Structure 1
Amino acid sequence: MSRDDRFGIPHAAVEANVSAALAEDIGSGDVTAALLPDAADVAYLLCKEDAVVCGRPWFDACHRALDPDVRIDWRVDEGDRVVAGTVLATLAGRARALVSAERTSLNFMQTLSATATVTARHADAVAGTATRILDTRKTLPGLRLAQKYAVRVGGGGNHRIGLYDTVMLKENHVRAAGGIAAAVERARAQSPDLPLVIEVETLDELRAALDAGCTRVLIDDFDRDTRREAVRIARDAPYAGRVPLEVSGSVDFDALRAIAEDGVDYVSIGGLTKHVRAIDLSLKLGPPPA
């Protein structure tokens, strides 16, 4: 199993992303690339800033969709940390296909490397604690699985993938059901095999959620004293740490370490996938510099 495979992304998901992106970009044909001789050529992929490498499956799929015989030799693994000026890969194929696939392949690499890089920064901030960084559903439309893959590459974990794989009771669900106990009863009856997460806003709601039983409790926007008390309640009898606690809601990076040291199990951060600033990469025709 390759290192890329160990991060877990369905091949069909990659192919679907790439097919849609190439159709969007090339349309009826690349009229500029048609000016080039359809001859053999080489290229190299250059990273212009420090980053965590992510997106190799999409990059490869873009180029192989236009030139099945293209040779791509990677010099780095998925998840590697590289410095500015690193040549990530070299390519050998048809000139027209190399330039036609350039933008789309870079779009995937730049976006996914950005997500992995930001995630790694947050994971580093809580290193040595028991806290794990999670993403949210605040992803770019159409790239949900890709960005969640990038979070894993960067050292984070995934919250629910969508609305179908975890029951998550928030304020409106609890209110409509008539309380936490009633909401949990309905959730268990409807989806007994799915994880159940309950968002709470007070310590009384925390106790109610722990009493009702759930997979995880999300403590939303607690101040530090209240958060520490929530950890104490969840860890002590009669609950004895059976239900992990997750912090969410306007988590500031500078406060992340302190939150982790308070003893929570997870911190979920929408900015890992929502506030994306692309990593600066270039694909250049010709051999790489010596």
Structure 2
Amino acid sequence: MIFFQTHEIEAWINEDAALVDLTGHLLGVESQTAELTMRTRHATRLTMMEEAARIFEILGAQVLHCAQSGQDVAEGAVILQAVGRADALHRGWKVAMNLLEYLCGVATHTAQMVEQVKAVADIPLLVTRKHLPGMKKPMTKAILNGGAHPHRLGLSETILVFENHLNLIGGRDALHDKIPAMQSAACEKKISVECDTLEQAQQAAQAGSDLIQFDKVPLDVLQQWVQTLKQDYPALKIVIAGGINPQNVQAYAQSGVDGIVLSSVYHAKPADLGVRIELLQA
């Protein structure tokens, strides 16, 4: 899965509590031995559990239980338990809880949309790189645990020609020469071109594009375009992006495309988790 280096997790801790838990210090509860229990308040697809556990381990606590990322749990399920000094548990509490609530929300929403797609078509849900800078690893783990796949992990590993590229090479007519040259230079890669019209897609396919990405095309129009393109170019792959949501994802999945591209899962409602810290009697 996704590997997080220790210094990355330490940075999360230091951002929230770089020096001391002032409240705990003034209350004089720092050295007391306590137990932290985290539960779900609704059915949740889990992610980032291993990293949440490492937060408490780095702070010197002992993790007694950690549910596995990718697991579906019911309302009220205990997903994390740790024991240790009260100051360590308080210092890690909100860091772990905020991390899990936000990203489990993404994983849960992703899982729901993947289920919707699988119910009507055998095609992937592909999640874009339109996340906040610095969040690639957590977001990628969340969408993978939700059952989706990354659309593009970055600029370095895929080739997707946008209009802004075409503006610099003389327009779409240049694809006739550019695509064969790109295929020769990057022989292990597929060449994708974003298109807005059927005519643009036909031109790109004729030039040798392996995949067409349509953006914000109405469903009835898309169905016609896909049928035409698949008839003329049977090996051509087609994906649709833009405006995909839980209300229309199944309809678009049945349009004949080879994949659904979306970003909306990054804006999912956070999961609702509850945390209780209690004194352990000697």
Report the TM-score, using the length of structure 2 for normalisation: 0.88
Helix, strand or coil for the counterpart of 1:286? strand
Amino acid paired to 1:235 = K
**Out of 116, 127, 142, which is 1:150 matched to?**
142
Q: Which moved more, 1:128-137 or 1:225-234?
A: 225-234
Corresponding position of 1:52: 45
* Separation in structure 2 between the aligned mates of residue 40 and residue 182 of structure 1, nearest angstrom: 70
How far apart, in 1, do the equivalents of 2:80 and 2:19 lie? 29
Shift of 1:252: 3.5
| Structure 2 match to 1:217 | 212
Structure 2 match to 1:271: 264
| Cα distance in 2 for residues equivalent to 1:142 and 1:94 | 31
Cα distance in 2 for residues equivalent to 1:253 and 1:174: 33
Quick one: structure 1 residues 111 and 16, their matched pair in 2 at CA, closer, same or farther if it must change by over 3 Å? farther
User: Please, which moves more after superposition, 120-129 or 191-200?
Assistant: 191-200
Aligned letter for 1:147?
Answer: M
Deviations 1:221-240 (A, max 9, x none): 22223211232233224x22
Distance in structure 2 (CA, Å) of the matches to 1:110 and 1:158? 21
Q: Which residue of 1 aligns with 2:192?
A: 197
8 Å contact 2:12–2:95 — kept in the other structure?
yes
Residue number in structure 1 paired with 2:31: 38
In the alignment, structure 2 segments of 5+ residues that lack a partner are none
Match of 1:261 among 251, 254, 257: 254
Q: Partner residue of 2:226? A: 231
Q: Which amino acid aligns with 1:270?
A: S
8 A contact 1:136–1:269 mirrored in 2:
yes
Contact 1:169 1:183 in 2 (8 A): no
Q: Which consecutive residues of structure 1, in runs of 5 or more, have no partner in the other structure? A: 1-7
TM-score, with structure 1 as normaliser: 0.86
Aligned-residue offset at 1:260 = 0.7
CA distance in 1, matches of 2:41, 2:214: 39
Q: Deviations over 1:146-199 (max 9, x none)?
A: 101110101111011122221221112123212233453564466554443210
Greater displacement, 99-108 / 175-184: 175-184
Where does residue 9 of structure 1 map in the other structure?
Answer: 2
- Does 2:160 match 1:168? yes
* Secondary structure at the counterpart of residue 252 of structure 1: coil
Contact 1:138 1:270 in 2 (8 A): yes
Pairwise CA distance, 1:30: 2.2
Q: Secondary structure in 2 aligned to 1:32?
A: helix
Is 1:98 aligned to residue 89 of structure 2? yes
One of 9, 19, 26 as aligned partner of 1:18: 9
SS of 2:47's partner is coil
Seq. identity, %: 22
Residue in structure 1 matched with residue 77 of structure 2 by the alignment: 86
Is residue 36–residue 83 contact of structure 2 (8 Å, CA) maintained in 1? yes
Q: Is residue 174–residue 183 contact of structure 1 (8 Å, CA) maintained in 2? A: no
2: CA distance, partners of 1:108 / 1:166: 29
